[in-house]
Structure 1
């Protein structure tokens, strides 16, 4: 049954879509929002067309088309921040037009306020929401007196505050959970769960911006002997110290991972061979002088590979791994480049 599904193109396509959405929270959020927006706007669009309210139908139609275009762009490029902000701004403008120009009751303000906080950061959403609510409140033609405007304003503020508090709290816990599952519990280095995606992203950036990128595989020399003779607590401390030293010497754009055991990976973005030789030569010297166990210094063998065109992330990492084994065979405690 499973093999039949795997051979089914429709099932394979569905699986890829599901995997893509599950791996990108913001893209999933945009997909859900687009689905809800379509289900909400399409019936109104058709109804306004039938009843001859073409201005309102045009606003609904343009809104829907822009949201679909924004999602399509995000799906193709993988960039969501700009398109989410664009969607938020346009939703605010569309709401303003419907209320202040067409003269509709501002029911749409409430879901838009909530959606804005969910789609973008709370600061940007707050600015857009305040601008939209103030513009609607001051310009709406249907408030009979100031008390109606104040009632509307108060209810919108309450909805907005609850939405903002909920989203900020949810994002805080989501970020903490993401941090926990993406980092090694002992050393704090990133784990292999995120390594594949980061290498794939680095390759895509390298192709897009045409800059070099390097990956280094670090392996502690004679680490098993440290564990066997000094105990695992000493070995754990060596791993922690190694991570601390690498982090202290890394740039913000660099990423450090624990591959498993005593093996680590360092991703050096915007780095050619000359830059990698300088950076890793200095790092190797620092590790040589900074890593200690009760029996003496602990050294590290490093294999490095500069990404080559048409090379997959696994081929790239495999070349760094081979270079690391060359470093081991040539006497350890050294940096060796692939090829």
Structure 2
């Protein structure tokens, strides 16, 4: 049965890692730059003070934008451009003594952008600093700066690339069922939440099909969980062959699965459910035993939560079981 925990999970919206990185960087930048801004104003160094005020204001604005709207695509480009502009302006106004700020900017670029873009922006940065460095510093000092900057770039690239790879792997594992490879309960919650958000702006028919294997516990008890797992894997492969690539398949529970069909009318979703039921009934998944499923289909209705939507499909599925199993019912 569907529990109220699904409702809480659907309602919760966790910030992404990229959001946290941008928010943390903006907040840290404001805290670090604000004292310098005050000192520049007190010392009446107006040009640099205006630059610091601009940087603090822009960082604070980006923080508010990402915090309120949770949009990072534009914010990350603006933040990267802002870092480069402020660094360039500071070095050109105050001289090579400000080169120390290059290192944190290089590291930041690899976390704000992708590792490859981080390399590109860093190379542009280092090339743009050539006139200042070799005009104001000795050759050995300039070479030392570039060697250390390149070393920082290499370390940052390796670390950022490895971190991103591990993050992607963990993300895939966190939303995939380890046995069947389809989406898990968390992935389903996120999918339904996204659909409901989209429905507020662009209404289109969306249906879900809740599928449950009939008497699956007795199969596990009689043949063992190894056989039961093989049946689940075969079942998933059959469903994937029947549904569209744009449809979603999720393992909802032990032997329960949910199919989400976007831009699909209720009659079409009900026909799909019936086709799946017949496919499974006519396929020999277990020798000397017929494997059947009961299905419930429900179309999303404006204003309902994911929990309510799943609940209606759940009731239809249990209606199919009460009427003798191996049936498909519509909410």
TM-score by length of 2: 0.84
**Structure 1 residue 239 corresponds to structure 2 residue 232:** yes
- The equivalent residue for 1:99 is 91
Are residues 321 and 147 of structure 1, via their aligned partners in 2, closer, same or farther at CA, if it must alter by over 3 Å?
same
Are residues 127 and 210 of structure 1, via their aligned partners in 2, closer, same or farther at CA, if it must alter by over 3 Å?
farther
Whether the 8 Å contact between 1:206 and 1:213 is mirrored in structure 2 is no
| Structure 2 gaps, min length 5 | 1-10
- The equivalent residue for 2:7 is none
CA displacement at 1:146 relative to structure 2: 4.1
| Structure 1 gaps, min length 5 | 1-18
- The equivalent residue for 1:199 is 192
Mapping 1:171-250, distance limit 5 Å: 171-250=164-243
1:54-88 alpha-carbon deviations (Å, 9 max, x no partner)? 33222222223233322322233332233123211
**Inter-partner Cα distance in structure 2 for 1:231 and 1:337:** 33
Q: What secondary structure is seen at the aligned counterpart in 1 of 2:301?
A: coil
- The equivalent residue for 1:68 is 60
**Inter-partner Cα distance in structure 2 for 1:337 and 1:214:** 11
- The equivalent residue for 1:58 is 50
- The equivalent residue for 1:82 is 74
- The equivalent residue for 2:251 is 258
1:288-332 alpha-carbon deviations (Å, 9 max, x no partner)? 445611224423222222222211111111111112123333443
Are residues 305 and 115 of structure 1, via their aligned partners in 2, closer, same or farther at CA, if it must alter by over 3 Å?
same
CA displacement at 1:219 relative to structure 2: 0.8
- The equivalent residue for 1:25 is 17
RMSD: 2.8
Counterpart among 132, 140, 144 of residue 137 in structure 2: 144
Q: What secondary structure is seen at the aligned counterpart in 1 of 2:100?
A: coil
Counterpart among 120, 130, 140 of residue 123 in structure 2: 130
Q: What secondary structure is seen at the aligned counterpart in 1 of 2:99?
A: coil
Are residues 301 and 151 of structure 1, via their aligned partners in 2, closer, same or farther at CA, if it must alter by over 3 Å?
same
- The equivalent residue for 1:162 is 155
**Inter-partner Cα distance in structure 1 for 2:237 and 2:121:** 42
**Structure 1 residue 295 corresponds to structure 2 residue 296:** no
The alignment of Structure 1 onto Structure 2 pairs a total of residues equal to: 320
Greater shift, 106-115 or 248-257, is seen at 248-257
CA displacement at 1:101 relative to structure 2: 5.2
Counterpart among 27, 36, 48 of residue 44 in structure 1: 36
Mapping 1:292-331, distance limit 5 Å: 292-331=285-324
Whether the 8 Å contact between 2:209 and 2:260 is mirrored in structure 1 is yes
